[in-house]
Structure 1
Amino acid sequence: MKEIDLDGDGSSSAATGQLPRLAVRRACKKNLRTALGGVILGISLVPVASWASQPPCDLLPPAMAPSAPEREITALDLARLRDFGGMQFDTYPGPPAALSPDGRHVALQLRRGDPSSNRYCTGIVVKETVGTAPPRIVADGGEIIRLSFDKYGFSGLVSGAPVPSVLRWSPDGRRLAFTKAIGGLMQVFLVRPDGSGEAQLTRSPVSIDDFQWLPGGAAIVYASRPALLDEERRIDGEAPSGWRYDVRFWPIAGGRPHPPSSTPSRIDVIALADRTPRPALSAEGLVLAPDGTPGWPASATQVLPVGGGTDRAWLAPVDPSALFKPNVLHVSMNGRELPCPQSACTDVVGLWKRDPRTILFLRRQGVARSEMALLSWDLGKGAPRVLHTTIDPWLGCQLGPIELVCAAESDTAPRHVIGVDAGSGRVRTIYDPNPEFAAIRLRRPERMAWRNAFGIETFGDLVLPSDYRPGHPAPLIVVQYDSRGFLRGGTADEFPIQLFAAKGFAVLSFNRPPWYGLQGPPLDLFAFLKANQKDWSDRRSVQSSLEIVVERLIARGIADPARIGITGQSDGATTATFALVHSRLFKAVALSTCCEEATMMANLGPGFEDWYARTGYPRFNEDRRGFWKEGSLVPNLGDLPPVPLLIQAGEEEFRFALPTYAAAKNAGWPTEMYVFSGEGHVKLQPAHRLAVYERNLAWFQRWFKPREGASP
């Protein structure tokens, strides 16, 4: 099942291009009632299962970083890494680390997996932005629940990535409001920054999706989807006479229909004084969805008052009818728009006001938008000036009195909190949740960039093995399909890059090229998807990029052509199987989802078939064997040399892999599949994550370094 990065910034909008919306939790134990969850503005939170906090849980690191000598990384280091925010770089309500109004504190929900107990420990952590005072846990962080989204006409398609808390400070900074999962539902809680006065504010029968403080701080406005409960009751009412099989079904995950994706959200207000929710007034609802504010520029995604009167700066696509086009910065002062150089003011992703005459903005630039640049513009005094450029992703930036505060990662540094001086662009670390990693030997990558046969640029990061010697080719593993930030395990974090390198493998962290359908004129969603699918154009573009860089590594004497492996999850799995059909470069493969083939058009439900048919796929009963001959392993197995194939799939998706598994096994391919209970598209449980890391390493050791390998 494919995913499409519509924004090109590493955020994966799940499953072939539709932005995820809201969804419903499915509980499948006897009479357990359905609990619901979601997030407006494009992300949905679905507590299909949860793993509770487990105190005492060693959540905070020692006060001092360990002084032990450098050592090699282990799978357990990665499985127990402290995380906050979303799993990748998706856009969630609220920043990963919330800055207080006075700029003195940041707050985040920290989580850490414990594979031995298969549980998470979590905490709401507050850290001062200045000084050496250690962070403090001010509240329990609640359960870890799974992300899901709407698609194919129904709610509740499980992604499985962890749902982060939404954290927002009160206007006076005296309280922190945050969402916390209790019993599988996200509720709003309050706590003071010293950890006192924790209280549950909402007691909603469904998850709170997003919230904001109303001006003055006396009440909170929030969004939820209570209508999903009514839909579930309707489904219960149909059960005695049997459910009609229709677009509400996702058969690979279960036999119960899902509520429709069209189920609306509702906006409510709850006052801190009486804690009785009521429907929000239209003006109050604008706090959550400001694009309805009178005078809001057409198609604007962010508006910022500057100067005085009606002066403002805003972000909007240059062509509102264009699909997935980046935003352009506009500034209007004294009734006229200020000119801004296209080279500086396109592809802007964030905008802040430093003072009435100065704005800061963050934009993407470089090969395949692989860099970020922070610029400052003194309005009316020439062009913007660059303060800082980086290949590191900066997430959820907020401007304080002196600094821009962001969550950040680098290729060798897990997610942390940084401060960027608003005048000089100087960067400092405010909070590193994983200081122990300073004692772990991590290999710095070589950034590579190239064009494919279609003229489309992309990039990748080459990590050489610990024992690499020039002139002695090493086994190479390709990890996909996003290479921004900490080189941990690729998209969905299952293929441990630094661990592979520590065990003697060269690793190419491959960033898939931008979608082929974006190269032409503006298109609507399904025209864009058809442009990608026509003649397998997008897949051929990815294959071209992949072949060029792998052959370059062979020519440089880095990669041993007899020992090249490929990995993949979701879109990356489709890339891997397409590569097996169309090249002979790869001698072993490990997948976490699998695989496209003809029967999926019937097995994955009517909604799935309708969606894919609109993108150019043949329906189940169409005789288009040539189509599947180009894109599927199954009809090609008799013509291909056997390649060892490992599949590690979640319980809710492994049936998708069964036709390919059986066909490969019957064709004599060395094939193994493992199924992980309670997992969906992305594996969340700590014990499973550790097992996946270790088995993927053992798989490639078995086929490429048999003297060192253990049994997978």
Structure 2
Amino acid sequence: MAYLFDRQTKQLTKQYETWPQLHAADLADMKVVRYKSSDGLEIQAYLTLPKGVAAKNLPVIVVPHGGPWSRTAYGFSAMHQFLANRGYGVLSPNFRASTGYGKQFLNAGNGEWGRKMQDDLTWGVKYLVAQGLADPKRVGIMGGSYGGYATLAGVAFTPDVYSAAVAIVAPSNLTTLLNAIPPYWEAGRKQMYARMADPTTAEGRAALARMSPLGSADKIKTPLMVVQGANDPRVNKAEADQIVVALRDRHYPVQYLLAPDEGHGFARPVNNMAMYAAAEKFLAGQLHGRYQASMSPAVAQRLQEITVDPKTVTLGAPITAIK
């Protein structure tokens, strides 16, 4: 809501509601939690618990933010409210490399993709389990962009932590990700090399290979849904294709949604509705939350159109090997 405060009369006057269809009484509360990561670094996270059920032994979904040099902010989150409505606890950690906590915290993420940055998520799960809030057998992870990478890294590097994963526009191979930097990102290339690893050096190439979920695809045992926009200039379609093919070729089930009219994240409402309809059904199947089976004919048709049979996926140009 937006209010106008008159300093002379001390009157507060309501101006408008941002989302008038959403009633505050129906929304779940978000709260701040803090816990220590693997090396003792304190991580701040936002936790939303579902209304109307005991806050004990819940299915939980970790939602890492994109960037990664950004942050999750306190306040209304459509993702948190959607998942909490379906019965999940939702945890969004501001892992190291997040902004807003000072330069030292930001730089603590340098070179830590898939390592301590991932620990900051894993220790969040441990915190919720220790508090009795999370059922350790019903923990999922879902995110986009860097959050999608963290999702793939979670199931590849800590396969026993998660029971379901939805990776949206997710880098799977950091070498091919950096090789595909578009021209308008050129000014930030050196910064990405400094914060990830420098692929022009042997040491950097080895680090990128080590941090790439694709190289550990044989360890994935978590049911996975991959979501991609065919026109994504940041995380190319090849990033999704690679991980889908890697799982398919070891005869591991993977679901794949590919929208031909989307880029880095879905913008068209019908595509978003189709993606979330598929994701909530997928998560419910693994974590036993609720989902809405019904959908409009347009959404049902679009979901059918963007659902890809992994058997039909082929790889294009040769891919830099992960060793």
Give the structure-1-normalised TM-score.
0.35
Q: Find the counterpart in structure 2 of residue 632 from structure 1.
A: 212
Looking at structure 1, the residues matched to 285 and 271 of structure 2 have their Cα atoms a distance apart, in angstroms, of 20
Looking at structure 1, the residues matched to 256 and 137 of structure 2 have their Cα atoms a distance apart, in angstroms, of 24
Gaps of 5+ in 2: 66-71, 295-302, 304-323
The structure having more radius of gyration, on CA atoms, is: 1
**8 Å Cα contact 1:483-1:509 kept in structure 2:** no
For residues 600-650 of structure 1, what are the alpha-carbon distances to aligned partners after superposition, in whole Å with 9 as ceiling and x for unaligned?
344556876964546553438958674245311111122x24111112221
Q: Find the counterpart in structure 2 of residue 619 from structure 1.
A: 199
Superposed, 1:161-176 pairs within 5 Å as none
Given the superposition, is the C-alpha separation of residues 486 and 427 from structure 1 closer, same or farther in structure 2, using an over 3 Å criterion? farther
Looking at structure 1, the residues matched to 201 and 96 of structure 2 have their Cα atoms a distance apart, in angstroms, of 33
Looking at structure 2, the residues matched to 651 and 636 of structure 1 have their Cα atoms a distance apart, in angstroms, of 24
Superposed, 1:239-278 pairs within 5 Å as none
Of residues 469, 473, 484, the one that matches 2:54 is: 469
**8 Å Cα contact 2:224-2:254 kept in structure 1:** yes
Looking at structure 2, the residues matched to 579 and 655 of structure 1 have their Cα atoms a distance apart, in angstroms, of 20
Q: Find the counterpart in structure 2 of residue 599 from structure 1.
A: 176
Q: Find the counterpart in structure 2 of residue 417 from structure 1.
A: 2
Cα offset for 1:567? 0.8
SS at match of 1:450: strand
Given the superposition, is the C-alpha separation of residues 429 and 695 from structure 1 closer, same or farther in structure 2, using an over 3 Å criterion? farther
Given the superposition, is the C-alpha separation of residues 532 and 504 from structure 1 closer, same or farther in structure 2, using an over 3 Å criterion? closer
Of residues 24, 28, 33, the one that matches 1:448 is: 33
SS at match of 1:436: coil
Instruction: Count residues with an aligned counterpart.
Output: 278
**8 Å Cα contact 1:701-1:710 kept in structure 2:** no
For residues 175-223 of structure 1, what are the alpha-carbon distances to aligned partners after superposition, in whole Å with 9 as ceiling and x for unaligned?
xxxxxxxxxxxxxxxxxxxxxxxxxxxxxxxxxxxxxxxxxxxxxxxxx
Q: Find the counterpart in structure 1 of residue 300 from structure 2.
A: none
Cα offset for 1:505? 1.8
Percent identity of equivalent pairs: 22
Looking at structure 1, the residues matched to 31 and 39 of structure 2 have their Cα atoms a distance apart, in angstroms, of 24
Looking at structure 2, the residues matched to 549 and 452 of structure 1 have their Cα atoms a distance apart, in angstroms, of 8
Q: Find the counterpart in structure 1 of residue 122 from structure 2.
A: 547
Q: Find the counterpart in structure 1 of residue 23 from structure 2.
A: 438
Superposed, 1:287-302 pairs within 5 Å as none
Give the structure-2-normalised TM-score.
0.71
Looking at structure 2, the residues matched to 428 and 544 of structure 1 have their Cα atoms a distance apart, in angstroms, of 46
Counterpart residue identity of residue 587, structure 1: S
More helix per residue: 1 or 2? 2
Of residues 642, 645, 653, the one that matches 2:221 is: 642
Counterpart residue identity of residue 632, structure 1: S
Cα offset for 1:466? 4.0
Given the superposition, is the C-alpha separation of residues 592 and 619 from structure 1 closer, same or farther in structure 2, using an over 3 Å criterion? same
**8 Å Cα contact 1:462-1:508 kept in structure 2:** yes
- 2:75 pairs with 1:485: yes
Given the superposition, is the C-alpha separation of residues 451 and 470 from structure 1 closer, same or farther in structure 2, using an over 3 Å criterion? closer
Gaps of 5+ in 1: 1-415, 490-496, 521-527
SS at match of 2:21: helix
Structure possessing the higher relative contact order (Cα contacts under 8 Å, 6 or more residues apart):
2
- 2:95 pairs with 1:512: yes
Counterpart residue identity of residue 273, structure 2: L
- 2:45 pairs with 1:460: yes
Superposed, 1:658-669 pairs within 5 Å as 658-669=241-252
- 2:14 pairs with 1:429: yes
Cα offset for 1:561? 0.8
Looking at structure 2, the residues matched to 518 and 539 of structure 1 have their Cα atoms a distance apart, in angstroms, of 20
Q: Find the counterpart in structure 2 of residue 377 from structure 1.
A: none
Looking at structure 2, the residues matched to 452 and 621 of structure 1 have their Cα atoms a distance apart, in angstroms, of 30
Of residues 553, 556, 581, the one that matches 2:156 is: 581
Looking at structure 2, the residues matched to 707 and 429 of structure 1 have their Cα atoms a distance apart, in angstroms, of 36
Cα offset for 1:551? 0.9
Looking at structure 2, the residues matched to 502 and 513 of structure 1 have their Cα atoms a distance apart, in angstroms, of 29
- The alignment's C-alpha RMSD in Å is 3.5
Counterpart residue identity of residue 75, structure 2: G
